[in-house]
Structure 1
């Protein structure tokens, strides 16, 4: 037989040639600098992933930032925080801008440094030397000082939870000017300096009095300040009523372990809060967060509370935009997808796996479009029928329960081509580290199969959701193809906008962000 590489068909010759290799050494397409930064900003957690380490990801972020304009860095930072709910990455990009464009760093800081936790991360990053300086510097110091001086007392008290650096460390660095006697007393109390006891904020004065005799009514301070003390079930019940919605969702096992649910009325009150539709619409919890909270609820958490979590999950999906038409969702269920979605962190790795997110995306699309087709894949397509009317947690658990094998991103597309299927959109949810499928005439097998499918379905679109950012893709951005990074609600919005033709790619979505 003649050499196929030399005598490939004319169609095959126009397929874009792979220009790099992925983490598995297989052919892939490299993201351009803007696309790479957009993906890293929306998905990067600066932690060890399945294929690469935190140091490598940090180097990739800084290299991508240096390769694009400061304006795009600013938009990526704001997008990551405002729409992606990211924490460390916006702080890193804001810190980078203090060197790359100090003037632009000012509005970005004010947009993304919106709580004490991110403020402390910003200070930590600045002092690390990773962005080109090992101290705050004049303007960043002024911004941090301004944040402290303008923050309300409840916001400052919330910021006082956490270390490395602590809020006390930050105050010592920037020396905020106290606006009144109360703020002066608070700073003194915080950093261990003499202060006017009579001028202390009432909440902190009550906390200091309660510490001397931790009985009776709990002081109105952040609940984290109180958990180090031996509390009764009744006191834990009070804390349950004070926690924010997200903190309540995250601390159900703690409440159960400390006897809060044994107190009359607590189970009903917690269940009502968790299932409240208005609160869910305001808080906008991520569906995968609720799925994990439901899976982690121990035997001590009452069934009524677990049912409320499931109700919250279903309610959260009503906020997900529907994808109309002939939709095919392809969740990657290969071995690497069993890694924590936010990477490995010693003692703090997320219980959420990449496969859980892929499964939930598939289940969510199926819930909003009962005619959607789900094709799981690893080395090959996995046969699995899902019930669109089943609870989302059930379908997600069935998909997540497959797991294992190598990665062959082109497998579901090859199946659709063998069937000569008619489709409007294909959504692939993966870490993009395909290595089982060989390249075809210089192109990735995914690109080759998509080109065939596109020839039969000229209006079809392909969305590749890159759960973990390694800098490569199996399908090159172009007409009808969008690579999107992330696993937050922003991904569903991006999918819907692309399906309607409102955007052409992930970079354009970030570019539309106002700083």
Structure 2
């Protein structure tokens, strides 16, 4: 059991009530009642919103749930946590790296989530919340990942595959279609393409945001200039980066008309 993941999603009072009741009561039904109260609190939309936890936390806890008693409320909480994800306006292209290297490493020593897991849930959450999004998985090849608004995150995650190599440029060229922004979640290991680097395939006035999960020094494009941004790692804070950067880009001086 991943203690950190559970503690992140179970409210403090619920942890205390659950542990206290289960540890002192001699009546099985009392333990069941306490567990039911905790499960109800975990899956309460208002409680999830109040916790400000993002989907990563709930997916990690779900993966460690010992039984359906806990996995079901955590699945519900995962869905409710999408309300904490910013809703991006306009058209967004979300590219999720599913090359073999994404499956080899965990996100951290404290997490069982692989980079592939984290990238998929991050991309799925953003796509579900966006006004209009195209969600794409890529490796040696690339394909759209079908989803419907309001659909279970877990069901969508099951559609992602292991796609071998990393032709990021090919994926961008195939799926970019005048989107307002492009988001790429990858470890930035990518195959050389004679047509150039991935970000070169996108007009300079279109923002490109890359999350480099491995933190390699050499990336697949420039960062920190104009509309090209690269971030190291992936955490709850990653969900806030695009709105923050775009609000700064689009901000007007108080006297502007």
Q: TM-score range by the shorter chain?
A: 0.7 to 0.9
| Aligned with residue 325 of structure 1, among 90, 98, 123 | 90
Q: 1:264 to 1:464 in 2, by over 3 A?
A: closer
| Aligned with residue 247 of structure 2, among 497, 500, 511 | 500
Q: 1:326 to 1:269 in 2, by over 3 A?
A: same
Q: Report if aligned partners of 1:335, 1:406 keep a CA contact under 8 Å in 2.
A: yes
Q: Report if aligned partners of 2:138, 2:163 keep a CA contact under 8 Å in 1.
A: no
Structure 2 residue runs of 5 or longer lacking an equivalent are: 1-14, 251-257
Instruction: For residue 490 of structure 1, report the CA deviation from its aligned partner.
Output: 1.0
Could you say which residue in structure 2 is the equivalent of 1:357? 118
Q: 1:462 to 1:260 in 2, by over 3 A?
A: farther
Could you say which residue in structure 2 is the equivalent of 1:490? 237
Instruction: For residue 397 of structure 1, report the CA deviation from its aligned partner.
Output: 2.9
Instruction: For residue 287 of structure 1, report the CA deviation from its aligned partner.
Output: 0.9
Could you say which residue in structure 2 is the equivalent of 1:276? 44
Equivalence map 1:93-492=2 (5 Å): 238=20, 263-298=31-66, 300-302=67-69, 305-343=70-108, 345=109, 350-369=111-130, 371-399=132-160, 402-416=161-175, 421-434=177-190, 436-438=191-193, 444-450=196-202, 454=203, 459-477=205-223, 478-492=225-239
SS at match of 2:93: strand
Q: Report if aligned partners of 1:290, 1:309 keep a CA contact under 8 Å in 2.
A: yes
SS at match of 2:94: strand
Alpha-carbon displacement from aligned partner over 1:148-168 (angstroms, at most 9, x marks no partner): xxxxxxxxxxxxxxxxxxxxx
TM-score by length of 1: 0.41
SS at match of 1:373: strand
TM-score by length of 2: 0.78
Structure 1 residue runs of 5 or longer lacking an equivalent are: 1-221, 224-234, 243-258, 504-515
Please identify the structure whose Cα radius of gyration is greater: 1
Alpha-carbon displacement from aligned partner over 1:301-358 (angstroms, at most 9, x marks no partner): 42xx333212211222101111111100000011011133335x5xx6x320111111
Q: Report if aligned partners of 2:93, 2:183 keep a CA contact under 8 Å in 1.
A: yes
Bigger relative contact order (CA 8 A; separation at least 6): 1
Q: Distance in 1 between matches of 2:90 and 2:141?
A: 25
Q: Report if aligned partners of 1:260, 1:266 keep a CA contact under 8 Å in 2.
A: no
> Aligned residue pairs: how many?
233
Equivalence map 1:53-64=2 (5 Å): none
SS at match of 2:57: helix
Runs of 4+ in structure 1 deviating by more than 6 angstroms, as ranges, are: 259-262
Instruction: For residue 292 of structure 1, report the CA deviation from its aligned partner.
Output: 2.5
Instruction: For residue 387 of structure 1, report the CA deviation from its aligned partner.
Output: 2.5
Alpha-carbon displacement from aligned partner over 1:494-513 (angstroms, at most 9, x marks no partner): 1112233449xxxxxxxxxx
Instruction: For residue 266 of structure 1, report the CA deviation from its aligned partner.
Output: 2.4
More strand by share: 2
Q: Distance in 1 between matches of 2:229 and 2:171?
A: 17
Instruction: For residue 439 of structure 1, report the CA deviation from its aligned partner.
Output: 5.4
Q: Distance in 2 between matches of 1:410 and 1:430?
A: 12
Alpha-carbon displacement from aligned partner over 1:64-83 (angstroms, at most 9, x marks no partner): xxxxxxxxxxxxxxxxxxxx
